[in-house]
Amino acid sequence: MTTQNDTNTRHQCLPEAEHRRYGRILLAITVAGALFCGGQAVRWWQEHARAARLERAVHEVYERALGGDPGKSPYGRLQFELGKLRAEASQRLDLVELLAALSRRAPEGVRITTVSMASQNGVASGTAATAADFERYQAALAAEGLFAFSVRSVDLYQTPVRFELSVKARDRSAPPREDQ
């Protein structure tokens, strides 16, 4: 019986050289794992510092853009301000669009001589060969979708007919009106 216990014991125990070998392997794996964890910690710290710098920079941009404390939702405030600017811009006159509208609707005998503009309204002056030409031009401008034209002054009894039209931008944010 003792022989059998000795054989079991021998199989379960490793020689001293094997213990040292496995110990060195375990130590090497532990050192490699510790170095890996240390490297990841340094990388995390660098990314954390970079994120904090970017956060401060974005906060400074929000402060400059919004003129003071950006509050809890600066992006929402920026969107709100952008909406206000777009609504305001939709009410402004655009010179190129105005000139296109004036020339697109002009019959043969009508000449625009001057155009003056402010941000919300403008004045277009010109001449028409006849009163009928001016009436046709006025009717054509009434169908214009981007601008509202109204007669400021007209001298129908003079040839050529001199006129001044007031121009205002239509509300582009509102749906178009239905003609009835």
The per-residue pLDDT string of the chain (180 residues; one tens digit each, 9 = 90 and over) reads 455 555 554 556 778 888 899 999 999 999 999 999 999 999 999 999 999 999 999 888 888 888 877 778 888 888 888 888 877 766 666 778 888 888 887 888 899 999 888 877 889 999 999 888 999 998 888 888 888 899 999 988 888 899 999 988 876 655 555 544
Give domain status of residue 177, yes or no: no
- In a domain, residue 84? The reply is no
> Does 83 map to a domain?
no
Q: Residues 57, 117: one domain?
A: no
Q: Is residue 87 part of a domain?
A: no
> How many domains in the chain?
2
- Whole domain around residue 106: which residue ranges? 93-169
Q: What is the pTM of this model?
A: 0.48
CA dihedral 155, 160, 166, 172 (to 10 degrees): 140
Q: Clarify whether residues 61 and 99 are in a common domain.
A: no
